[in-house]
Structure 1
């Protein structure tokens, strides 16, 4: 049903006549990418020289135009964005390279600006937020829909542009050119309101832009989820929920209510959404105790227990507050850090010196490298550097850069070709380890009263002892400790006595030898000795989460661990993207990266905000949230019972309902929705593949094969200029396509939209 379910002006039919010279475009998927596309169309239509004869058809099965299903304003109110309000936007701005015409500034608000405007208009306390607030996700959905409505209004104000909204699911696209049909492509859709009657719409168009967003895969197509389906089928009364979203529709009081034990497979963002929806979303409340701890008070409408599990057994780590560095504060802006080890130039040298091939991957030619042998050592070394630069100060960080120069060059030109991953990491970090040992020895000589402050200051070093000392004290011990230590500098015994009685307010060790960087501990913060029983694992999990939340609140540029993770895995993500995309890794390495390392990447740098993770910890402490299965837990049947079994902790937890609390990787051939399987069947698209050069199995992650400007490639290798794709459907060939758009960041989502738009206008003008 066209134009259904949309209030106000969006519900009105444009009523403009169409003619044979008009360009007809179908945008399939009405989520955030659609909003961004409509913004660029709205801004550019008015600036086009001459007449613009354009019919725009937008199809969305949810009817939440502008937000779509996953980002809709009907999301559970317990779900938060993991980005602050001032860092979410909806329109192109001056930071976007070659953006073309921009809309007036008042039509380009951040999410914070939009909320403040709504609060001023309505007085509704939901919109009364701060720039640094972590907003609810439904607010983002409301803002997306409102922005979309504004862009549609602008487009419809043009005398020769129509916009038609179809509350329909697109099920197929047919190319009828060879059959003499009137239009080159026909979009088949099933109107949601009439779907049960078998009604269909067939819309002829000249161009299609697929922005379908996240779906989920047929469970029996994956070995893991097929085992879950089969296990649940063997147990009378057991239920398997293959996709958690939309939460309110999939996880109802009827299937996950009181008395039920829910197993949730997933501990990242989706799994956390599931947990909060089943607790706080069922009326439970969190209250702050007098001692400061958050406590959960149940409503009685929750499930009896929620058993969460995953391969790692760990939740996503809390995202740190973003603190400006001292240099940024002086300059009035946050300075973007560039890598020393992990750089585009390093990737290019590794390809030149050690890359295999050249190998033709799709329509690109690549000299492929390995992730674990070539990239991972650079990532670890970069984290080492950033950790100690944060702990000991920029002066000491510059010294570490100097002492590693030879090791960096040797790795890029020789070591990376022959050494194992462990050997390469060791060679890159040994110079830093020596320098850190000297710094630690000097600091502890002072703090333990072995040497005088005057003598230590007088020693000749390539770094300043004073600068390092007070940076360490500020990060680890805090201002009050600094004042006491400064007063006792002339008396080594008194200084040592003060240090002996100190505790770090940020849960660091007091002495620097207790604060050394460890990649292994960063990745696996719960020691194997704490994984030997359900009770010990639960205790260790709570201890780790307590520290993690304190460190997240200490923030980047202050907390060494959080700065190293955020600064490398988020700040230098474009380098990893550059190395991985378009078959930059050989097939086996690419499979391992997406199947394993990407999860580590997401856990370290893309977790929820501390306020959310503090709720999760309160639920663990209350007991309703059961984490005891630990790492590598499996779903099995035990007689007529469905259980989650933890092989390391020994936990065996019976469950009634199993929820897949993960967002699966896109797989066009296994998608539960009919569109992509139909496109594959018709030969309109093909899957992207990374060929195995050693005679092994090619890696086919499931995304579509596309040109660099996002046009689809057919099975015979020809390019179809009429169909373009953005979003999750292109992952595999390229990774990291999600994320809310960020202002003043030349954001990748809007860059992708702009790339498509240039091609679209070129083709429209040519026709």
Structure 2
């Protein structure tokens, strides 16, 4: 039971994850007080972050509105909707906030925020800035409720707008948190650090050093909102490495952000009207092109079909029998079945003449896809034989070729490459517009849904170390990201318009970057494109800083590692021997840091991207429940996992009072 002194909890990081701990502490405190518990208890919650609570670093409301979220308005939430958790004390989902903001008092909103909200539909992609305003408003509502609700008496919140640079053990119990401007004693610490700066890799260090030596401009990996894009020169070539999600942020700043605009042409497509202030963008990625666009379906998951093979029941069966599955041997084959079925069923529905004897084909395919109908190691052989008999080669699904469409192709000129990339962009936009009725997008939607279920299946040692290192993170992750984690279709449409306008050119697959010291320029070329070398005074890494704790440039993480309060998690490779993973070593649940000596620290919790060696896909925001049959429900428990993790930490804190 509580004594006279208040317990102090320091939450380091006040972005969405740290704010979730605040919200869950308040919710559980109120629920326990309402049940007659915590009488006389006192708890001080200290949120430490140089950025505002709620938005934190990434979601600041003042950033450019050209930076879009990668999920639609109906998707994200800071407030859990799980009936098994303590009821929230304030706030709701982003979409509920959006609807209330449109209908209610907007006096605290800026002109740009009011304009965006007026035009923002439930299935549109909000700016990161407007989501940041939601986060700040929601946290403010929770803090206000804590200060005014009698059932929250004894719980106080203190905001520290500064950086924590060290956490050290006190003699006895608890910690001393060293801030930029003082110290903060704490009985318990929660690390909710989110995105942190990262050290450059050897190649990046070499390019950065050469740029300083030769007077060139090198932009290392960074949060796009942190970069002053005015330093990128106009009307000259600029090299951009990476064509994932950060690329589209850079693209927007260097085009629309400089006064260009997109108009609708006579055919209903987009046409780019330059301002004359754009650079000539030479875009490069290993694939040779960008991520694939999301299907335009008005929902996060496909509405017309559910997974048939990789199901919660199938995953639970492994746990029930005490089997730790291998990803490649056990889980991926189930998802592969779902992807194949989604593609070929949709193909037949859209064009029964696309395959020979369509009805018989689907019956035969369903039988061959049935798990355990034959030896697991050869299940794909009979499937491929059926496809060869019934489906024309041009219509057969090949995910790897879809993810890397230019692999092994040689291009006789840069223009030949540009034409090929543009053709894939146009095809991708057309498929996205067709949504679930397009066979390729149907297959990708199955892949996307399977990824969400896999997040729970593989977490907390759900698969073997070898599977995690080589199969999940080593091979599958890059495939699913390129196909199922792409931007809104509008971004691909805009990229195609920019390519037609000559503002964007493409370098080709497997590009190589370096420096020509004699000419004092960066150079880049693809070995697959003849005559395609480009030289420029400016190079941009369109990548987020590496999410790897051993490479973190955060003073706090460096100190914690050096002092042994935390350690990186090691996993075993298939060939034997340990390898260092990207995240911290933690003991579930709630996640508690494991010290260098192997001791689990009950009073040091981890909740953030630094869980990447225990959870897969930790960067994705919490998912609001979906509307289905007039009821709100979640399709996959991974959707609100971060909020449940925060709830577990909150309950552990209160249990210790």
Fold match, TM over 0.5?
A: yes
2:343 equivalent in structure 1? 387
Counterparts of residues 559-570 of structure 1 (less than 5 Å) = 559-570=438-449
Q: Is 1:430 the counterpart of 2:385 in the alignment? A: yes
User: Taking structure 1 as reference, are residues 137 and 762 closer, same or farther at Cα in structure 2, changes over 3 Å only?
Assistant: closer
1:728-763 Cα shifts (integer Å, max 9, x gaps): 111023211122222112653643443443354345
1:88 equivalent in structure 2? 76
1:218 equivalent in structure 2? 199
Normalising to structure 2: TM-score of the pair? 0.86
- Larger Rg over CA atoms: 1
Q: Is 1:175 the counterpart of 2:130 in the alignment? A: no
Q: How many residues align?
A: 620
1:544-569 Cα shifts (integer Å, max 9, x gaps): 1111011111112x111101111123
- Which runs of 5 or more residues in structure 1 are unaligned? 1-17, 191-199, 353-364, 416-422, 441-511
User: Taking structure 1 as reference, are residues 582 and 657 closer, same or farther at Cα in structure 2, changes over 3 Å only?
Assistant: farther
User: The residue matched to 1:541 in structure 2 has which SS?
Assistant: helix
User: The residue matched to 1:722 in structure 2 has which SS?
Assistant: strand
User: Taking structure 1 as reference, are residues 324 and 265 closer, same or farther at Cα in structure 2, changes over 3 Å only?
Assistant: closer
Cα distance in structure 2, aligned partners of 1:120 and 1:727: 34
1:338 equivalent in structure 2? 307
Select the residue among 1, 7, 14 that pairs with 1:30.
Answer: 14
Counterparts of residues 404-415 of structure 1 (less than 5 Å) = 404=368, 408-412=372-376, 415=377
Cα distance in structure 1, aligned partners of 2:319 and 2:383: 15
Q: CA RMSD in A?
A: 3.2
Say if 2:368 and 2:379, in contact at 8 Å, map to a contact too: no
Q: Is 1:289 the counterpart of 2:265 in the alignment? A: yes
1:55 equivalent in structure 2? 44
Cα distance in structure 2, aligned partners of 1:146 and 1:749: 22
2:244 equivalent in structure 1? 268
Say if 2:456 and 2:637, in contact at 8 Å, map to a contact too: no
1:204 equivalent in structure 2? 185
Select the residue among 432, 452, 461 that pairs with 1:573.
Answer: 452
Say if 2:78 and 2:643, in contact at 8 Å, map to a contact too: no
User: Taking structure 1 as reference, are residues 579 and 205 closer, same or farther at Cα in structure 2, changes over 3 Å only?
Assistant: closer
2:57 equivalent in structure 1? 69
Select the residue among 411, 415, 423 that pairs with 1:543.
Answer: 423
Counterparts of residues 163-562 of structure 1 (less than 5 Å) = 163-178=157-172, 184-190=174-180, 200-219=181-200, 222-233=201-212, 236-247=214-225, 249-253=226-230, 255-302=231-278, 304-322=279-297, 334=303, 337-340=306-309, 345=314, 367=324, 369=326, 371=328, 375-393=331-349, 399-400=363-364, 402-404=366-368, 408-412=372-376, 415=377, 425-431=380-386, 434=389, 437=390, 514-526=394-406, 528-529=408-409, 531-556=411-436, 558-562=437-441
2:94 equivalent in structure 1? 110
1:125-157 Cα shifts (integer Å, max 9, x gaps): 221122122222211111111111111111222
Q: Is 1:630 the counterpart of 2:508 in the alignment? A: yes
User: The residue matched to 1:88 in structure 2 has which SS?
Assistant: coil
User: The residue matched to 1:314 in structure 2 has which SS?
Assistant: coil
Say if 1:173 and 1:187, in contact at 8 Å, map to a contact too: yes
Cα distance in structure 2, aligned partners of 1:262 and 1:595: 31
Cα distance in structure 1, aligned partners of 2:456 and 2:273: 44
User: The residue matched to 2:583 in structure 1 has which SS?
Assistant: coil
User: The residue matched to 1:317 in structure 2 has which SS?
Assistant: coil
User: Taking structure 1 as reference, are residues 272 and 324 closer, same or farther at Cα in structure 2, changes over 3 Å only?
Assistant: closer
Q: Is 1:100 the counterpart of 2:86 in the alignment? A: yes
2:528 equivalent in structure 1? 648
Cα distance in structure 1, aligned partners of 2:467 and 2:545: 20
1:14 equivalent in structure 2? none
Normalising to structure 1: TM-score of the pair? 0.74
2:481 equivalent in structure 1? 602
User: The residue matched to 2:535 in structure 1 has which SS?
Assistant: strand
- Which runs of 5 or more residues in structure 2 are unaligned? 351-358, 626-633
Cα distance in structure 1, aligned partners of 2:473 and 2:103: 42
Say if 2:411 and 2:417, in contact at 8 Å, map to a contact too: yes
Cα distance in structure 2, aligned partners of 1:368 and 1:224: 37
User: Taking structure 1 as reference, are residues 595 and 516 closer, same or farther at Cα in structure 2, changes over 3 Å only?
Assistant: closer
Select the residue among 706, 709, 712 that pairs with 2:593.
Answer: 712
User: Taking structure 1 as reference, are residues 752 and 51 closer, same or farther at Cα in structure 2, changes over 3 Å only?
Assistant: farther
Say if 1:668 and 1:703, in contact at 8 Å, map to a contact too: yes
